[in-house]
Amino acid sequence: MKKIAVFTSGGDAPGMNACIRAVVRGAIYHGVEIVGIRRGYNGMISGDIFPMDSRSVSNIVQRGGTVLKSARSKEFVTPEGRKKAYENIMSHGIDGLIAIGGNGTFTGAEIFYNEYQIPTVGCPGTIDNDLYGTDYTIGFDTAVNTSLEAIDKIRDTADSHDRIFFIEVMGRDSGYIAIQSGIGGGAEIVMVPETHTPLKKVVSTLKDGWKRQKSSSIVVVAEGDEAGNATDIANSIKEQVGDKLDIRVTTLGHIQRGGTPTAYDRILASRLGLGAIEGLLNGHKNEMAGIVNNELVYTPFIDTIKKRKPIHDDLLRMVHILSI
């Protein structure tokens, strides 16, 4: 390959810039021309493609977000949109793609290859840590630490006022942020999409703590929990316990996406970025570069898209034991 393009797509994640940096400098090291595509598949369709060099990625390793910008492209879902993207890729003489993103990004890359045979290697950039084929995704560690810092501060005020806080974290289909920030923050209950937590059990746990004169409690809720979001769950609990417990709700929201990436995320992103560029040069295509048991591996996009990454039962068990 003589010319490769890199882009970020979907939700941004801290560490994406470190990944871009590794891709660009890895390509230069191997004597390959590298270009960037702004705003993901939208930029591919509009032709927002520009040359990159070593200076293009100077002083970005510590920055959150993505210097290439990101977007969710409705037009790329259509055959007409993908045709425009292909024509732009060809007009720029691009031989392969590095896609930094999540499930939707890799789905688009898989379809694009099936139609136009443009080889792509992906880097898992999503704070949800929900992609099969890697132990951790870029941005997850930073998001957990951001959530944990917020939980620590909320616990201070919960303890001061003898309150129960329901704290909602991101995780529409995955409870990884909830479970790890909940354990790290000493939550009494963690509610995640992967398991069913009956509201009766939540009420029972909170009442037991109240009887033991527990002054405050933290319940961490992943936004995609089957019982609803944190506000819905808190309202249901209030109806059952009345005024006996002082219940409040905090939704952390997009604060979890931003911020300076942790050391772990910077190193992970750098390993994956370099692994992606070298994988593409060595003939890998339609695969995601990941780290499993501290080893670089490549997983077919079709597996990252279709296979689920379950939360280990030990983590759920740990929440129950440590909340006593």
Residues annotated as catalytic are: 128
Please, how many CA atoms are within 13 Å of residue 151, restricted to the half-sphere of its CB?
Answer: 30
Q: Could you give the dihedral angle defined by the CA atoms of residues 174, 175, 177 and 179, in that order, rounded to the nearest 10 degrees? A: -160
Cα distance between the two ends of the chain: 58
Q: For residue 8, what are the contacts with CB-CB under 8 A and spacing of at least 6? A: 16, 20, 40, 66, 68, 69, 70, 100, 101, 125
Identify the sign of the CA torsion 39, 43, 46, 47. Answer: positive
Please, how many CA atoms are within 13 Å of residue 9, restricted to the half-sphere of its CB?
Answer: 28
| Sole residue written with tokens 């939550």 | 187
SS3 298: strand
Q: For residue 69, what are the contacts with CB-CB under 8 A and spacing of at least 6? A: 8, 38, 39, 40, 43
Give me the helix-helix angle, 263-281 and 140-161, nearest 10°. 160
Tell me which residue of 56, 82, 78, 54 sits closest to 68, measured CA to CA: 56
Q: How far is Cα 23 from Cα 29, in angstroms, rounded to an integer? A: 10
R_g of the chain computed on alpha carbons: 22
For 232-243, letters b (16+ CB in 10 Å) and e give: ebbeebeeeeee
